[in-house]
């Protein structure tokens, strides 16, 4: 029987262990700007997928995704042994690292929403000064001189 609550607790513990190890114990310069965002563990607790993001050295600098992926691939064995020592489970899960695309998707959504708001504001400005085409009362009304 799959215990999803246990899998979630283990995933949270694994993400904490890996993040701490990357920050304080692994001295690979390629991992300086790597942040662990989430972890998921399969129901049988055999495989863990760890999601990460990479920041640039400055706000304007483009992150070095291939170097970060290479650094994580090289450190996978060390990280797995730290996870095994830190969790105490019978079988230490295999670790796989996946680049988290949620921050980029959120940024793109914010840009789209800003464009939509700007478009709505432009339409509202035009509508505020707009007048109806044709007569003010477009419906036929019986006039006294037409009898």
List the pLDDT tens digit at each of the 147 positions of the chain. 567 888 899 999 999 999 999 999 999 899 999 999 999 999 888 999 999 999 888 878 888 899 999 999 999 999 999 999 998 888 999 999 999 888 788 889 999 999 999 999 999 998 888 887 777 676 777 777 765
Q: How far apart are CA 14 and CA 45, in angstroms?
A: 11
Q: Which CATH number fits domain 4-100: 3.40.1190.20, 1.20.1240.10, 3.30.300.20, 3.20.20.140?
A: 3.30.300.20
Domain ranges of the chain: 4-100
Number of alpha carbons in the 13 Å side-chain half-sphere of residue 103? 11
Nearest residue to 81 via CA among 94, 98, 68: 94
Cα-flanking dihedrals φ and ψ of residue 68, to 5°?
Answer: -65, -40
pLDDT the model gives residue 76: 93
In whole angstroms, give the CA distance from residue 79 to residue 92. 11
Enter the tokens of residue 133.
């085409």
């Amino acid at each position: 029987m799959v215990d999803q609550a246990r899998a979630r607790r283990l995933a949270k513990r694994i993400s904490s262990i890996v993040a701490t190890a990357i920050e304080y114990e692994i001295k690979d310069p390629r991992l300086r700007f790597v942040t662990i965002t989430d972890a998921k563990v399969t129901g049988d607790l055999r495989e863990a997928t760890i999601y990460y993001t990479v920041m640039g050295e400055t706000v304007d600098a483009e992150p070095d995704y291939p170097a970060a992926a290479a650094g994580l691939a090289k450190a996978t064995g060390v990280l797995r042994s730290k996870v095994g020592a830190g969790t105490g489970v019978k079988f230490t899960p295999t670790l796989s690292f996946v680049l988290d695309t949620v921050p980029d998707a959120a940024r793109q959504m914010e840009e789209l929403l800003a464009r939509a708001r700007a478009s709505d504001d432009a339409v509202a400005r035009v509508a505020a000064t707009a007048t109806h085409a044709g007569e003010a009362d477009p419906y036929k009304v019986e006039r006294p001189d037409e009898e």
